[in-house]
Structures are given as structure tokens and as C-alpha cells.
Amino acid sequence: MKPLSAFLFTLISLNLANCQNTPLYVGTYTDGDSEGIYQVQFSTKTGALSNLKLATTISNPSYIAYSPDKRFLYAVDEGENGTVSAFKIMENGTLAFINREKTFGGAPCHISVNNEGNKLVASNYKGGNISLYDINADGSLNVASQVFDHNTDDEKSHAHSAQFFEDNLFVSDLGRNALYQYKLKESKYELESPAIIETKGNPGPRHFTITANGTYIYVINEYGCSITSIEKTDSGFKQIDEDSTLDENYKGYSSCADIHLSKDERFLYGSNRGENSIAVFKRNKENGTLEKIQNISVHGDWPRNFTPDPTGKFLLVANRKSNNISVFSINSSNGKLNFLHDFKAPTPVCLLF
């Protein structure tokens, strides 16, 4: 091979390799070896993780979220005096600080941004409230425009997650065992329903996922180790299913954490901390019900957050206590997982593609 041809071949090979890599940001707890938010490269061809580097120093960024155009990244500081920070994503993958605002509640543990990229909501676990922010064109946050307190004289709230869907804002309250619905009315959100369904016992609804058409909501329950399936009807919402996330032979302590639908919405996944597994469900797309088909070890300890990769071919799990990220391949025909390998990372608790 001639020198010029060899050079071009090498250049093309390197460009192809770079095209197959996509950045993954890792939110952490900083009470150990972690210093903040990290970036790692993920190969969408092989599932390999590489080149871990610190993207920014920040205290306890336990949940992170993109703007829709991925120009900006937002992170909580899950401390007693909670804050949410805005960053600009630089060309080299580092995060440039823009500004920081108070969440008006302790231990913010979740944030999400609406599809228009002009609203952010933060959930305060200890404060029992949620805070709503307007996002400016430069990615910066204004002071919270609305704060909704879910505490009552009789019940302590633990807001654990919130998501926008069209003109709705849904909020999962682990403390009061409720999923609230807010509606956007004249630029302000107003409570539409204090609880969209009646819950039994103390399941502890934590995170949830919504189908693309908004017809079904799936809630993972931290204490109940279960998934509640909810259908939207002409008159409101109704529960259609309740499924355990644990293997029938598991008898130890466990608590659920995260939940995700597959890209084609044929399968649903949930994480078990204690059993240290991912539960895999086949989803009936006609009636929304679930059938559990697998419980697979995460090859780590305390899987908090996990995520499918952008191609839908892989699933990555953040194992907080064992300081590793586990990578699984997803069988496209039956949805089941197969463990591939793991990658060391300091106290990973949130993964963001």
C-alpha cells in the first residue's frame, strides 16, 4: 500500500471509529472518590466503554438531564440545601458552568426538561415539593417560578420524580403514595388531580415512564418492588396491572429504583437494589399489560439508574455501591438481556446519553 493510501485508510478508519462512539455522561455521589460529573465514550458497535474523564466538579450530581438540542446539561446537587445547575456542553465534552438556582427543598433527586426546552422541573425528596424553572435561550435558569408543596399535616411528602408530557406535568410522590397530574393553563401549572389512581398499602411510587401516545403510564414502586400499569381513559386514569419485579425465589431485602421502555415499546425494564437485578417484562401493546420474562444479575451492587443506548441494542446499568457500569446486549426479538462486560466508575448513579 502506498504511503498516501495508507494514510487515507488510517484516517478513514479513525473517523469511522469516532462515528461509532457516543458520549455518555455519568452523575455520581461525591461522598467517596467521585469529584462530580464524568464523561465516558461508548461504542454503539461493540458496547465498549472507554476514556473516562471528569467533565465538571460539582457536589452530589445524582441526577442529570439534557436540553432537547443537547447544547446544555442540567444537574441537581442532592444536598440539604438543594440546588440545580446549568452547564454548556463544550466541544471537548467538558461542562462549562452557566448558573445555579435554589430548589427550595432538600435533597433534590430528579430533574427533567420539557420538549420545547424552556421549562425544567426539580423534585425535592426531603422538601416534599417540586420546583419549576424557566430556561433562557442561553441555557441559564431563572429563579423558580412555581413551587408546589405536597406535604400535609398528616402526611410527609417525598417527591421523587416529575415529567412533562404535552401540557401535563406528572409527579411521583413516594411519601404520599400518589401520582399527581398538573395542567398548563395560561403559562402556569395547576393541580388537575391529587392522585390519578388509588394506591393500596405503601408501595412508594418512585419513577415512571409514559408511552409515546400518552395512553399508558408505568410506575415502579420502591417499597413494593412492583410496577403499577395505568391506562388513560376518556374519564381519567385506571390501574390495569400490578406486577412484581422480583424473582419468585428471592426472599431478601430489595427496593426498586428506575424504569424504562424499549424504543419500540414492546418491552419494559426495571431495576432492583438488593436483589441487584434488572427485571424484564414483555408488554402487550394492545392492552398495556405486562408479563415478566427475565430477572438478570447486574454484576454489581445497588443498581440505581440505567438506560438503553441510542441504538436500542444495549442497556447500561449504574451500580452505586460496586463502582461499576454494567453493559448488556438486548435481544431485539424477545427483549431479554445478556451481560457483556463492566467498566469501573466512581459511585455512578445516573447515566445520560
**How many Å apart are CA 45 and CA 20, to the nearest integer?**
6
Average pLDDT, the chain: 95
Q: Give the pLDDT means over successive 10-residue stretches in the chain (353 positions).
A: 52 54 98 97 98 98 98 96 97 98 97 98 97 98 98 96 98 98 96 92 97 98 98 96 97 98 98 98 98 98 98 98 98 98 98 98
pLDDT digits (tens, 9 = 90+) for 218-242: 999 999 999 999 999 999 999 999 9
Provide the grid cell at 28: 455520581
Dist CA 28 CA 291 (whole Å) = 32
pTM, 2 dp: 0.94
Rounded Cα distance between 191 and 291, Å, is 33
